Chain A
């Protein structure tokens, strides 16, 4: 009875989805030429240079035209990191020992040399997010990889969780407050018209777009570093019962 009900529900849903997808003309040129203004993509490609003054159209779409969805994505990442921390993080009083064995001195010296270079690459990627391919999420992931290198090579390297919490919270507050500033002065949330627009293709251009991406970069880096630190500090549980022992 239950199976019949589920199959009927899926059939109705599939029927309406098929009708909806048949309206889309597959195989036609939906991007449009830059001459005609009919499609959304052509509008973005033609008007990004004058109105947003950035040279990377993807960044302009992610931060300026669809900036609210980026705020939602940052919220999803924040929720994931908080959920993991609420399950696994324990504020221990004694010294936390990590699960990996001590590594050789060659690896330790090399990691100490490579760590500033990796962080430099990450900061470069998210500061130049409006000029080159890249942006906040990519730069934050690269910085987290640099911290992971240090966490694996040294057994006693600690990242203080209070500093990570402060950086993450302040970056999130900066993002929302830029949106509220746009609401107060312009009329819509995250409006980009009351920041100095600068020269095209230079570092200071595009209004609030570099500032938002810098905030997103710091936030993502702090979250991913916190997640990796929590995962590495978890001790191996011997109390997980395997099903073969129960028989």
Chain B
């Protein structure tokens, strides 16, 4: 039983760090402030919570402290992203609306004309 707890804990740590990496990648790649805010909050919160829970499983005497920290992260991260989004909206930051994502239009004049090649 004790070894299974250790394996569950290690699996949770890997899962958490994967989601933290994906959250950072999302912040890097998103085009707009609101998109970046969503990517950063959701992925980072899940990653951090499962990381701390995994540490709590590996050492069972730290489980109560880990649960309190998990509750704290689950309340504090969405609150801070709510405050950020609200302040961005109040300062007239417009979201990025893409009309048409047409990457072909830019290279259409460079490529040769499409015609029948019989």
Contacts and interface: CB of A to CB of B under 8 A. Distances in A.
Please say whether the chains A and B touch (CB closer than 8 A).
yes
A117 B68 CA distance: 9
B86 interface: yes
A83 interface: no
Nearest to B68: A117
Interface in A98-113: 103-104, 106-107, 110-111, 113
B72 A110 contact: no
B61 to A, nearest CB: 14
Nearest to A107: B83
Contacts of B67: none
Interface string A102-134: 011011001101100100000000000000000
A106 B72 contact: no
Contacts of A110: 75-76, 79
A106 B79 contact: yes
B69 to A, nearest CB: 9
Interface in B40-67: none
A107 B87 CA distance: 12
B58 to A, nearest CB: 18
Contacts of B86: 104
A46 B77 CA distance: 44
A114 B82 CA distance: 15
B97 to A, nearest CB: 25
A107 B79 CA distance: 6
A103 B75 contact: no
B83 A114 contact: no
Contacts of A113: 75
A120 to B, nearest CB: 9
Contacts of B72: 114, 117
B45 to A, nearest CB: 14
A107 B75 CA distance: 10
A103 B83 contact: yes
B59 to A, nearest CB: 14
Interface string A74-110: 0000000000000000000000000000011011001
Interface string A226-240: 000000000000000
B76 A107 contact: no
Contacts of B75: 110, 113-114
Interface string B72-102: 1001100100110010000000000000000
Contacts of A106: 79, 82
Contacts of B79: 106-107, 110-111, 114
Contacts of A107: 79, 82-83
A105 B75 CA distance: 14
Nearest to B78: A110
Contacts of A111: 79
Contacts of B68: 117
Nearest to A124: B65
A106 B83 CA distance: 9
Interface of B: 68, 72, 75-76, 79, 82-83, 86
19 contacts: A103-B83, A104-B82, A104-B86, A106-B79, A106-B82, A107-B79, A107-B82, A107-B83, A110-B75, A110-B76, A110-B79, A111-B79, A113-B75, A114-B72, A114-B75, A114-B76, A114-B79, A117-B68, A117-B72
Minimum-distance CB pairs A-B, first 5? A110-B79, A117-B72, A107-B83, A106-B82, A110-B75
